[in-house]
Structure 1
Amino acid sequence: MLRLSLLLLLLSHPARCMLLGWVESPGYPIGYQPHASMNWSRCASEGYTLSIRIVHLDLEDSQDCENDAVKVFSNGNLISVLCGQRDFKELQSVVNPSLVSYPGGCLSLSFHSDYSNIKRHRGFKGFYSVKDFDECEEDPENECSQFCHNIIGRYRCSCRHGYHLGTDNHTCTVSCGKDLSGLNKGDISSPSWPGLYAENADCRYTLSVEAHLQLELHFSGVFDVEQSPDGQCIDALRIETPSGIMGPFCGHTPPPSPFLTHSHRVNISFTSDGFGTNKGFTLHFKTRGKVCQAVATSHSTVTPQQPEYEPGQTVTVACDLGHIVNTQGHLKLSLQYETTCQSTGIWAPSYPCEPVNCGHPDIPEDGILQLTDSENSHTRYKGQIQLRCSSQYYTLEGNDKYTCSAGGKWVSSSGTSQMPKCTPVCGMHENAPASAGRILGGRNANLGEIPWQLLIKEPSRGGATLINDRWAVTAAHVVEALEETSLRLYGGLVDGRTMSLRSSDVVVMDSERIIIHPGYTRGDFPLGRINYDNDIALIRLTSRVNFGPNLLPICLPEVNRGLVENEQGTVSGWGLTEGKESLVTSRVLKYAEIGVYSLSQCQNTPRTPTGSPMIFTENMFCAGATGKDSCQKDSGSPFVIPTLSAGTGPFHLAGIVSWGPPCKDREFKGYYTKVENYVDWIKETIDKVENT
């Protein structure tokens, strides 16, 4: 009876269905054993589907088929889990319709049973078959634009009368392109004009006439090309010449008529999609003599101005602002040239007007002033750059943004073409002295408290002051006996011992040039020097020093600032200081806060060992306090005063330790070179050397 049912089932299917085989559980139909299992898999060819039809199902029933089960997968994805008992009708109507693969896909089946059954179950049996997949009926994405025909294993498309199948073998289109070369006049219209144009049209018309002629297009009648509500072209008309593509044109507004192409070669294309009910267009083409257009080259104007120019007319082409003439590949500073309209409708000679190129900005090679983004900075006309100082110890003096001007120079918003400078941040330090100290028995300085102080160890001990990254200042008598390149200075330290000079914090600097003030009197004084007027010298270093928290420059004072009696300042140095029994050379940098004395006190000068009075001039001042003073070997060191009345920075260099009575006399009065009298000389000397 079962065999007869199966035979009737097979005969009821279309002839195109082919039975391939049976699949059944182990031991079927007698029954499967505990711990039984099996795996099965088959695949269909392209254009076919594979199906399984279960004809008998008798398994142990359990919740979610946890005990015994048969599972069916399509391309690895689970599509059905079966257990229990199902009658033939339920299998046919509910279960089997879902056991079908995708076209060209695979089905796999697995069966397992657990360790025991209360009663024996027969298992399952089914048969698998492949059949042709009807793409036309079952696949809505078959891509045939008109007719679809199913064929065993595949499908094909066909078209209505008047259409042909495109190269993709799916889209029906019309043959509407023509080569109209050699015709001086004629008509072109969308396919089926004046009826609705065909869908999926791809029309291309080629026009070509003699080189001295140009094609002129005249649109007439209705212009109706499909357009979206937001104005985008769905179907489109395009006109292409050697100078470019004009269009797309669509909607109800045709191109201007007459449409001058200014070319003897024109390609006209019309495309449509698979939908829409629009009429299209019609045009008449003819020829006329070529003329030259009012634009000879981009970024320029033509003089005299006319809508068009006849052959033989000569005009002047002037480049727009910020552009110059490129003559045969060589940019010149010429802004205009003459050209003549040719019979072919082109200007000759014709040179492009290209943007002015300002080139890379003139930035010093010291690396302090930098472009913020050199890779993305544009150097052509209207390009912009931005500059910055690479170190926190410098400040930008001038504008930071520059634009490439029409004159080929980088110009700031204020109109200057001079590049900014990075000037050192002077007179500031991160660790200010906590309180007043004394050089004679004074307070020891910590690193960074007096970062502008420099040490001179040889040939005689003294001090100097850093005023920028290439220059220092000291007393002239400290360096008067030296050759110009024989001086070594140390900075970024407080301990002057030789061993400490190996520390990584110490900065060693060598002099490149020593410039003593021309008003300073040099020479030997056997009976003792009595005149220290103009006791100041500049030291140019061999290379730029790198600033840090322990090495920073001091500010120069304002010219004619003036010093006020009792005005407080700080003097520092590695000179003599109080020892246990006598004065000794200090190993550590010391500082003291002292006040400026009155003019009358300063004019009461000490005498030399021979009894000669020392000379006091307007280029000096004196300062000190009870128990506080500079001393021998402090010469050349700084006396600094805070710029702000509150006693805070920035500090400026008010004086340079110059001379005074012997420290052992305990007069506590030192004489200093008044730096404000030499600011102009310092700046002029530095500028002269740097610009030589």
Structure 2
Amino acid sequence: MELRRAWLFLTLLGCTHAESPAMYGAISSPNYPQGYPNQVQESWEISVPKGFGITLNFIHLDIEPSENCEYDSVQVMIGEEVGLTLCGRRFDGFSGEPLPEQLFPSNTLRIRFTSDFSNEERYTGFSVIYTAVDLDECKEPLGAECSHFCHNYIGGYFCSCQPGYFLHLDNHTCGVHCSENLFTDLRGQISSPGFPQSYPENSLCEYKVRLVPGYQVLLAFQPKDFDVEEDPSGSCLYDSLIIQAAGKTFGPYCGKTAPPRIESGSNEVDIIFQTDSGGDNKGWTLEYSEAAIPCDHHHLFEHSLLDPQKVKYVFKDSVTVTCEEGYELATMPANQQSFQSTCQGDGTWSRLDLKCQPVDCGPPSGIDNGHVAFSQTTYGAQATYSCVSEYYQLILPGSADDTLRCSSDGLWVSKDGGQDLPKCTAVCGVYNPSQTVDGKIFKGKPANLGQFPWMVAFLEPKRGAGALISDRWILTAAHVVQGVEEPVMYAGIIDLRGRKHQKPLIAKRVILHPQYLQDNPDTKKDFNNDIALVQLCNKVELGVNVAPICVAGSDEGMFPTVGKIGYVAGWGKTESRERSPLLLYTKVPLSQAEKCQELAVEQKFSFTPNMLCAGDNTGHDSCSGDSGGPLMFLDTKNDRRMYTAGIISWGLGCGHYGVYTKVENYLGWIKETMENAEMEESGERSGYTCG
């Protein structure tokens, strides 16, 4: 009877026709209810409408049994996975317990029947009825994965959200509108959506804090009120909280450890909270407040002092910035060493274009015949002076040394604060002892080049000589240059025949002693004050062949005594009564003044205390053409130095005693004349040319 009812039910099923997937049906093995054939592999696809599951009710199961059903079997396949495998004699309609209904939560499945090579006992196979069953998608374990609420209906389900939330486009997850939150009060509180309840998944929340300029936003989290999902590694790949302000990013933050207090440094802060699709965390809450924006002053106003001095400066604070000693404001008017600066609303100082820069003294002034060495010209730099050669010496003004320093006033000063520059003055009387001085002018011996580097030859209009006493002044006899404005002179030579290869010295002025009587030199009997100075247009370059001689009385050891041997040199007449083209020199002793005075009285010449007497009756003497040349002695304190004590003036015949102008008596006039001339020269108009 039961078998007939089953067949009747199957017959009724077959009479139903629908274009949509069937809601029920029946499937049986080949040749059912007779024994199934050998070597069979056959499958049936079952499909019901979406939103439904499938129940299988096996009303007959008679399949050759085997371990793991490896001989013959019927299988239920869901996709490529095996959902159920059956074999054996379970129920044939007459004996055995029928199998319970099997529910498969899928709207498609496949039934596969397999037999091997033998069915000796004539097993009859299987018969199964399938039925479409409405699924409750909102009931576990199916789970519709709705964020908040799930609603089931026949053939499907739908999700809905709590008030204040919206359903995302996936129709499953709920979110909140949290991207237009603006906070402008100076203080406030901000929390994640739903706090302290669980925050929504798949949400991107943005909170904007905007305060007035000049104030920064401070953020403070409560340690117990922070709970944001983190991944197993402890990173913030799932959910994260990020703070952004003034180009800086704080975070991301997650987990249960609250972020530290944040000083944003800006009046504009963005708080970004992003969540994924999972988790059940309560979120976070924070309090924000305002503080005046600080201005960093460290390393900003370098080399300067701030008044008032504070550990911290904030918005609207004003300071006076004063440059340290040795520094100045290059872009400000002269002598202005300070300016006002104010802390601005963006954390910067006003007037940042003003900088304290080192005072620049500019290149130090050079000096004649000298060098100045320096590497920098700013405050504290040093400039060291030296002379070009050993024939010059550095003369230091006051208590200064050879080094000047760039001062805070922008001036090069010495250690005592003076601005006077050192001077390179000629080293006088440089004497090389290897040059032996012996011989005679009258019956004289030729001099070697450089033996008397101070000798100057006067050739026109009168033959005579002179001596360099500096790099620009020549000392000679007044009667040699009397009435002469542009004498022809040469220095640094010993043979006048080679003068065409030399440049003559150019006189700027010829100065005779004011008390010298300018009568006829040929008949002159009074040579008192027979001394003159010649100033050159240009300084001569000193060296081994051109150098000045020292002047008697200008230093200790330069006072000759009677009997001391001196030397004279010149290009005057020799014993042959002809002028020598070569520089000749000889040795003469300083004699008692009475010797010359007696002879002068006899010949009606004037001999005064302004004259020296030198020579003897041995024939060593100066002669005509040697006038103006120096009477030279070695310094008793320094045997490498010579000085001139006299000027060849007149004589009582050649080869006997000679009379010389006593230079010591004219030191004051020499110094005053040279200083006045140089002072006058410094006031001359620009562009003046000499000669």
Normalising by structure 2, we get a TM-score of 0.55
Q: Does 1:616 align with 2:608?
A: yes
CA shift, 1:325, in A, is 2.5
- 1:496 corresponds to: 496
1:184-231 deviation per Cα after TM superposition (whole angstroms, max 9, x unaligned): 999xxxxxxxxxxxxxxxxxxx9997641246699999xxxxxxxxxx
Q: Structure 2 residue aligned with 1:584, among 557, 578, 584?
A: 578
- 2:421 corresponds to: 419
Inter-CA distance 461–545: structure 2 relative to 1 (3 Å threshold): same
CA shift, 1:595, in A, is 1.3
Structure 2 CA distance for aligned equivalents of residues 689 and 589 of structure 1: 31
Structure 1 CA distance for aligned equivalents of residues 269 and 524 of structure 2: 100
- AA partner of residue 633 (structure 1): G
Give yes or no for contact 1:397–1:422 (8 Å, CA) kept in 2: yes
- 1:316 corresponds to: 320
- 1:660 corresponds to: 651
Give yes or no for contact 1:488–1:508 (8 Å, CA) kept in 2: yes
Residue correspondence of structure 1 range 413-492 to structure 2 within 5 A: 413=415, 415-430=417-432, 432-483=434-485, 486-492=486-492
1:256-303 deviation per Cα after TM superposition (whole angstroms, max 9, x unaligned): x98978766999xxxxxxxxxxxxxxx999752124556672211122
Residue correspondence of structure 1 range 46-85 to structure 2 within 5 A: none
1:376-400 deviation per Cα after TM superposition (whole angstroms, max 9, x unaligned): x110111222332233422333333
Residue correspondence of structure 1 range 268-417 to structure 2 within 5 A: 287-292=290-295, 297-309=301-313, 314-326=318-330, 329-330=331-332, 332-349=334-351, 351-364=354-367, 366=368, 368-372=369-373, 377-398=375-396, 399-413=401-415, 415-417=417-419
Q: Does 1:565 align with 2:562?
A: yes
Structure 2 CA distance for aligned equivalents of residues 387 and 501 of structure 1: 36
1:131-183 deviation per Cα after TM superposition (whole angstroms, max 9, x unaligned): xxxxxxxxxxxxxxxxxxxxxxxxxxxxxxxxxxxxxxxxxxxxxxxxxx999
Give yes or no for contact 1:358–1:408 (8 Å, CA) kept in 2: yes
Inter-CA distance 289–378: structure 2 relative to 1 (3 Å threshold): same
CA shift, 1:493, in A, is 1.6
Q: Does 1:596 align with 2:575?
A: no
Secondary structure of 2:465's counterpart equals strand
Aligned length: 426
Residue correspondence of structure 1 range 108-119 to structure 2 within 5 A: none
1:445-491 deviation per Cα after TM superposition (whole angstroms, max 9, x unaligned): 111111111101110100011122222111111111112xx222112
- AA partner of residue 365 (structure 2): D
Secondary structure of 2:496's counterpart equals coil
Structure 1 CA distance for aligned equivalents of residues 261 and 627 of structure 2: 94
Structure 2 CA distance for aligned equivalents of residues 532 and 312 of structure 1: 90
Structure 2 CA distance for aligned equivalents of residues 542 and 207 of structure 1: 85
Q: Does 1:510 align with 2:506?
A: yes
Q: Does 1:539 align with 2:540?
A: no
Gaps of 5+ in 1: 1-180, 187-205, 222-238, 246-256, 268-282
Give yes or no for contact 1:465–1:474 (8 Å, CA) kept in 2: yes
Give yes or no for contact 1:429–1:552 (8 Å, CA) kept in 2: no
Residue correspondence of structure 1 range 156-175 to structure 2 within 5 A: none
CA shift, 1:519, in A, is 2.5
Q: Does 1:631 align with 2:623?
A: yes
CA shift, 1:361, in A, is 0.8
Q: Structure 2 residue aligned with 1:519, among 515, 518, 522?
A: 515
- AA partner of residue 471 (structure 1): W
- 1:200 corresponds to: none
1:625-644 deviation per Cα after TM superposition (whole angstroms, max 9, x unaligned): 32211111111101111113
User: Could you say which structure has the larger radius of gyration?
Assistant: 2
Give yes or no for contact 1:294–1:306 (8 Å, CA) kept in 2: no
Structure 1 CA distance for aligned equivalents of residues 294 and 394 of structure 2: 57
- AA partner of residue 372 (structure 1): A
Structure 2 CA distance for aligned equivalents of residues 615 and 370 of structure 1: 48
Inter-CA distance 635–345: structure 2 relative to 1 (3 Å threshold): same
- AA partner of residue 409 (structure 2): G
Structure 1 CA distance for aligned equivalents of residues 480 and 395 of structure 2: 34
Structure 2 CA distance for aligned equivalents of residues 400 and 208 of structure 1: 66
CA shift, 1:585, in A, is 1.4
Inter-CA distance 438–287: structure 2 relative to 1 (3 Å threshold): same
Gaps of 5+ in 2: 1-181, 189-207, 224-243, 249-259, 271-285, 683-691
1:487-519 deviation per Cα after TM superposition (whole angstroms, max 9, x unaligned): 22112221223xx2134xx45212121122222
Secondary structure of 1:652's counterpart equals strand
Give yes or no for contact 1:429–1:448 (8 Å, CA) kept in 2: no
Q: Does 1:549 align with 2:544?
A: yes
Give yes or no for contact 1:294–1:302 (8 Å, CA) kept in 2: no
- AA partner of residue 397 (structure 1): I
- AA partner of residue 514 (structure 1): V
Secondary structure of 2:467's counterpart equals strand
Residue correspondence of structure 1 range 125-204 to structure 2 within 5 A: none
Give RMSD over aligned pairs: 3.9
Secondary structure of 2:550's counterpart equals coil
Identity of aligned residues (%): 35
Which stretch shifts more, 336-345 or 671-680? 336-345
Q: Structure 1 residue aligned with 2:641, among 642, 645, 650?
A: 650
CA shift, 1:357, in A, is 0.8
- AA partner of residue 324 (structure 1): E
Structure 2 CA distance for aligned equivalents of residues 342 and 263 of structure 1: 12
Secondary structure of 2:425's counterpart equals strand
Inter-CA distance 207–319: structure 2 relative to 1 (3 Å threshold): farther
Secondary structure of 1:585's counterpart equals coil
Structure 2 CA distance for aligned equivalents of residues 519 and 545 of structure 1: 29
- AA partner of residue 363 (structure 1): G
Q: Structure 2 residue aligned with 1:680, among 656, 661, 668?
A: 668
Give yes or no for contact 1:400–1:420 (8 Å, CA) kept in 2: yes
Residue correspondence of structure 1 range 12-27 to structure 2 within 5 A: none
Structure 2 CA distance for aligned equivalents of residues 401 and 423 of structure 1: 17
Structure 2 CA distance for aligned equivalents of residues 420 and 457 of structure 1: 37
Structure 1 CA distance for aligned equivalents of residues 245 and 592 of structure 2: 93
Inter-CA distance 521–345: structure 2 relative to 1 (3 Å threshold): farther
CA shift, 1:574, in A, is 0.9
Structure 1 CA distance for aligned equivalents of residues 344 and 364 of structure 2: 43
Inter-CA distance 220–670: structure 2 relative to 1 (3 Å threshold): farther
Structure 2 CA distance for aligned equivalents of residues 650 and 436 of structure 1: 17
1:513-534 deviation per Cα after TM superposition (whole angstroms, max 9, x unaligned): 11222222223478x3222222
- 2:140 corresponds to: none
